[in-house]
Chains A and B, each alone.
Chain A
Amino acid sequence: GQNIDQPTEMTATEGAIVQINCTYQTSGFNGLFWYQQHAGEAPTFLSYNVLDGLEEKGRFSSFLSRSKGYSYLLLKELQMKDSASYLCAVLDSNYQLIWGAGTKLIIKP
């Protein structure tokens, strides 16, 4: 079966750095997405990786290793507004998105 694993919850301090991991086992791979979802709101797109390596976008970076079935989202200079759930999703061989359950990130002052 297809599976995406993320930690359920993480806590970090304002101004610090946090890394949210995502491991996947899917039938084929056509890219990996990260989305942010604030409580009670819709998911919003953060990043897309299809090749190995690090993609940087301001305070957020996303890394992919296809051979290891592994990705992480790195958030720097954490702000209180970064408190949200972070969803990892893989586009499988049929171009269907398989979603992880999400990681709830709690930022403490």
Chain B
Amino acid sequence: NAGVTQTPKFQVLKTGQSMTLQCAQDMNHEYMSWYRQDPGMGLRLIHYSVGAGITDQGEVPNGYNVSRSTTEDFPLRLLSAAPSQTSVYFCASSQDPQINQPQHFGDGTRLSIL
């Protein structure tokens, strides 16, 4: 019963490097999203997807790209890492955000940009 799987769990990057955070879910959920969580702040939505082939920007999309080629996978790409992107990143999925379906979260990726 995997749920939402994120890799890697930890990553250290140098400023300017690029990388992809992986997210996969096995619950056949249509809705997937990426959040970042910073101390003293609520979860902030980066990008989301309501189904394969459809993505949209959230509150803080700059510096990040996403794609949704399959229902299961929703990778997040950092184009050119900056220290301001040091954060904990959570991927989440749900059956339908328009009804009372809770978000299922992955275990998070702790990312440090030096």
Contacts and interface: CB of A to CB of B under 8 A. Distances in A.
Interface of A: 4, 8, 30-31, 33, 35, 41-45, 48, 50, 87, 89, 91, 95-102
Contacts of A45: 102-104
17 contacts: A8-B40, A30-B98, A33-B103, A41-B108, A42-B90, A43-B43, A43-B105, A50-B100, A87-B42, A95-B97, A96-B45, A97-B43, A97-B103, A99-B42, A99-B43, A99-B44, A100-B42
A79 B41 CA distance: 26
User: Chain B interface mostly helix, strand, loop or mixed?
Assistant: loop
Given A4-B42, A48-B100, 18 more contacts: A41-B107, A41-B108, A42-B105, A42-B108, A43-B103, A44-B105, A45-B102, A45-B103, A45-B104, A48-B102, A89-B42, A96-B45, A97-B43, A97-B97, A99-B42, A99-B43, A99-B44, A101-B41
Contacts of B98: 30, 95
Interface string B36-72: 0000111111000000000000100000000000000
A95 B101 CA distance: 11
Interface residues of B, number: 18
A91 B85 CA distance: 26
* 10 closest cross-chain pairs (CB), A and B: A99-B42, A45-B102, A42-B105, A99-B43, A48-B100, A95-B98, A101-B42, A95-B97, A100-B42, A43-B105
B106 A33 contact: no
B43 A42 contact: no
Contacts of B40: 8, 101
A22 B97 CA distance: 21
